[in-house]
């Protein structure tokens, strides 16, 4: 054996990867210049971005925060010698409270803010189920009654007594079930609160109010406006439409033919017409449909129509959730001997609603954006307010700053919500991909 060898016996030292494959250059080559087509695309995009920024950034950079009128803004901008003009932020500084709160009284503005914070606290245990204790759901329930009181004001006894109606209903059910059977107890549990609300709440609260005068100053609906109005209409409509939507979805999935067709008819009708026609119904027709002499204020009427509108969409979302449950769940519930409502309450709906939350959030985003339509029937939502701000001689002719500010507000809130919805979808997806 000679020690001649034609195969290398020792390993060569490792070499660094070529410079063009790692680091910034590698990344650039892989992601921006991986071929002639991609290189052209990158180049075109860079030029576009440059042109856009060159047009917008100088305009955005404009020290006009303290200007009191458009003319003043123009003076400041002229002094700086800017060719293409600049933004006039004075209008935002002067009018942002109006864009946010409308004509809600200055001294009472803490109320919408507290309501908004309360809304987040109330939603936390619903939206982030594993981060917050379930006990907080009691707060969410109480918030349902506290929020309208905070916003509209009035005696504290009205919401308390209205909430007491639910306690009365539950009490009637508990009390009557052992004595007269389930059905009669259910009927009693529905009738008793209705009687309480229609016959007793008014008199009792007028007795209690002078004795213990607790309450907030009444704020009329016509003072509601701005971003607050959009949020308020959106939140109230979605909250109520959740209940209606569940019922409609169950109706649509039901074996009962008439119930099914009534639900389908309602859902398809609402989804087939534009929201603006429903708002016209609210502004011109609703008073004709209701008994003579009824006169709701316009915001309440808009809320009714927005609720009906949202409930049809929510119903479709929840129907999707119901359809996504495996048949085995329904059959297992039947096998356990649960009746329809018990099966729905204990087995089907908890799962279906959980699957539907992303869809519900997107419906809410859609409705929230659509609340801007109320400006067409003359309500003062942010877009409606731009008109009244421009009517001020100081700000006549101002366009971009207002629209930009409103767009930014909507973008931030809708973007946050859509991110939440995507996060939830990822969390709910249990398959491995």
Tokens encoding 298: 């316009």
Concatenated DSSP letters for 355-387?
A: HHHHHHHHHHHHHHHHGGGGGTTT--SHHHHHH
Residues in the chain: 433
Residue 20 touches another protein, criterion: CB under 8 A: no
The whole-angstrom separation of Cα 58 and Cα 72 is 19
In terms of C-beta density within 10 A (0-12 exposed, 13-18 middle, 19 or more buried), how is residue 99 classed?
A: buried
> Least distance to another protein from the beta carbon of 121, Å?
25
Residue 74 Cα distances to 71, 77, 84, 87, 298, angstroms: 5, 5, 11, 9, 39
Question: Angle at which helices 400-428 and 382-390 pack, to 10 degrees?
Answer: 170
With CB under 8 A, what is the number of residues at the site for another protein? 56
Between 126 and 416, CB nearer to another protein: 416
Q: Running DSSP on this structure, what letter comes out for residue 81?
A: T
Residue 329 touches another protein, criterion: CB under 8 A: no
> Least distance to another protein from the beta carbon of 357, Å?
19
Q: Which among 94-102, 206-214, 350-358, 396-404 is the span making contact with another protein, rule CB under 8 A?
A: 396-404
Q: Running DSSP on this structure, what letter comes out for residue 216?
A: E
The whole-angstrom separation of Cα 414 and Cα 433 is 28
> Least distance to another protein from the beta carbon of 427, Å?
18
- What phi, psi does 61 have (nearest 5°)? -80, 100
Q: Which among 16-24, 137-145, 209-217, 290-298 is the span making contact with another protein, rule CB under 8 A?
A: 290-298
In terms of C-beta density within 10 A (0-12 exposed, 13-18 middle, 19 or more buried), how is residue 44 classed?
A: exposed
Q: Which among 111-119, 257-265, 321-329, 352-360 is the span making contact with another protein, rule CB under 8 A?
A: 257-265
Between 198 and 415, CB nearer to another protein: 415
Between 299 and 305, CB nearer to another protein: 305
Residue 351 touches another protein, criterion: CB under 8 A: no
* Mask for 179-218, x = binds another protein (CB under 8 A): ----x-----------------------------------
HSE-up of residue 299 (Cα within 13 Å, Cβ side): 21
- The residues that bridge with 215 in the sheet, in sequence order, are 155
Residue 31 touches another protein, criterion: CB under 8 A: yes
Between 206 and 277, CB nearer to another protein: 277
Residue 317 touches another protein, criterion: CB under 8 A: no
The whole-angstrom separation of Cα 262 and Cα 244 is 13
Between 138 and 411, CB nearer to another protein: 411
Which value, to the nearest 10 degrees, does the dihedral of the CA atoms of residues 335, 337, 343, 346 take? -100
Q: Which among 10-18, 46-54, 138-146, 155-163 is the span making contact with another protein, rule CB under 8 A?
A: 46-54
Q: Which among 12-20, 218-226, 347-355, 414-422 is the span making contact with another protein, rule CB under 8 A?
A: 414-422
The whole-angstrom separation of Cα 390 and Cα 402 is 10
Q: Which among 34-42, 116-124, 151-159, 207-215 is the span making contact with another protein, rule CB under 8 A?
A: 34-42
Residue 406 touches another protein, criterion: CB under 8 A: yes
| Interface with another protein (CB under 8 A) | 31-32, 34, 38, 41-42, 45-46, 48-49, 183, 255-259, 262, 268-269, 271-277, 280-281, 284-285, 287-292, 334, 340, 365, 369-370, 372-373, 375-376, 383, 399-400, 403, 406-407, 410-411, 414-415, 418
């Amino acid at each position: 054996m000679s020690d001649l060898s034609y195969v290398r016996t020792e390993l060569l030292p490792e070499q660094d990867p070529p410079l063009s494959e790692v680091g910034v250059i590698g990344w650039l080559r892989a992601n921006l210049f991986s071929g002639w087509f991609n290189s052209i695309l990158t180049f075109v995009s860079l030029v576009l971005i440059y042109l856009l920024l060159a047009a917008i950034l100088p305009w955005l950079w404009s020290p006009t925060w303290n200007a009191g009128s458009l003319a003043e803004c123009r003076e400041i901008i002229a002094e700086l010698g800017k060719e293409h003009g600049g933004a006039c932020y004075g209008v935002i500084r002067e009018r942002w409270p109006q864009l946010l709160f409308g004509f809600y009284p200055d001294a009472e503005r803490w109320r919408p803010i507290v309501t908004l914070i309360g809304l987040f606290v109330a939603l936390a245990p619903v939206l982030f189920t594993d981060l917050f204790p379930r006990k907080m759901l009691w707060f969410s329930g109480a918030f349902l009654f506290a929020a309208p009181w905070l916003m509209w004001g009035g005696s504290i006894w009205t919401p308390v007594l209205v909430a007491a109606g639910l306690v009365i209903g539950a009490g009637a059910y508990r009390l009557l079930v052992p004595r007269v059977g389930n059905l009669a107890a259910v009927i009693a549990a529905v009738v008793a609160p209705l009687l309480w609300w229609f016959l007793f709440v008014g008199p009792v609260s007028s007795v209690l109010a002078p004795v213990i005068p607790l309450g907030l100053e009444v704020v009329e609906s016509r003072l509601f406006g701005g971003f607050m109005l959009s949020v308020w209409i959106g939140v109230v409509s979605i909250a109520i439409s959740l209940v209606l939507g569940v019922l409609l979805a169950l109706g649509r999935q039901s074996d009962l033919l008439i119930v099914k067709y009534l639900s389908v008819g309602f859902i398809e009708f609402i989804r087939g017409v534009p929201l603006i026609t429903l708002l016209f119904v609210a502004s011109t027709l609703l008073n004709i449909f209701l008994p003579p002499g009824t006169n709701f204020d316009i915001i309440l009427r808009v809320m009714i129509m927005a609720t009906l509108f949202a409930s049809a969409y929510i119903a479709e979302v929840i129907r999707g959730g119901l359809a996504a449950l495996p048949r085995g769940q329904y059959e297992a519930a039947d096998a356990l001997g649960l009746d329809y409502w018990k099966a729905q309450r204990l087995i089907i709906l908890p799962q279906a609603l959980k699957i539907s939350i992303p869809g519900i959030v997107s419906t809410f985003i859609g409705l929230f954006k659509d609340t801007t339509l109320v400006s067409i029937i003359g309500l003062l939502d942010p877009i409606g307010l731009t008109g009244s701000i421009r009517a001020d001689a100081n700000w006549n002719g101002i366009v971009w700053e207002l629209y930009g500010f409103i767009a930014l507000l909507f973008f931030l809130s809708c973007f946050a919500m859509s991110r939440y919805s995507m996060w939830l979808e990822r969390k709910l997806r249990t398959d491995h991909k």
